[in-house]
Amino acid sequence: MMRTAILAATALTCAACGQSAPAGPRVFFVSPADGASVQSPVHLEFGAENFQIAAVPPGTVTETRPALGHHHVAIDADCLPTGTAIPRAAPWVHFGDGKNVIEMQLPPGKHRLTLQVGDDLHRTIEGLCSTITVNVTQ
């Protein structure tokens, strides 16, 4: 009971001074912006907050490391359900090396770009997916 009262008081104090409690983990596109008109090759850059992005360990991986993952991006695909193994084929590109940038050739037209984090076994992690739309002009 006392702990609940302390947490409530802390939340009210933070709200009063303009601070907010830390948000949960999320992934996002640093660039391009949602709705942007771009030219191919398209520079994609990904970001993560409150979650650590790391390369998959070398060798045969049989277990996942908690609270670690790596980026995957798909063209014209939706977020996969939590716990789903991300296919190692089109439309998905894996970033098992831990990188967060790529220059990607895209045909002209409107495209959905989906960024999804996978664990060391390439399984999706709850809440770590983001989709934007871009228009490729050339």
CB 70 within 8 A of CB 118: yes
pLDDT for res 21: 53
Per-residue pLDDT of the chain (138 residues; tens, 9 = 90+): 433 333 344 444 444 445 555 689 999 999 999 999 999 999 999 999 999 999 999 999 999 999 899 999 999 999 999 999 999 999 999 999 999 999 999 999 999 999 999 999 999 999 999 999 999 997
Please tell me the distance from the alpha carbon of residue 94 to that of residue 28, in angstroms, as a whole number: 16
Strand pairing report for 52-53 and 68-75: parallel
Residue with tokens 């998959």: 56
pLDDT for res 52: 97
Please tell me the distance from the alpha carbon of residue 54 to that of residue 37, in angstroms, as a whole number: 30
pLDDT for res 8: 40
pLDDT for res 108: 97
User: Which domains are seen in the chain, by residue range?
Assistant: 23-136 (2.60.40.10)
Q: Which residues contact 105 (CB under 8 A, 6 or more apart)?
A: 40, 41, 42
pLDDT for res 138: 75
pLDDT for res 16: 46
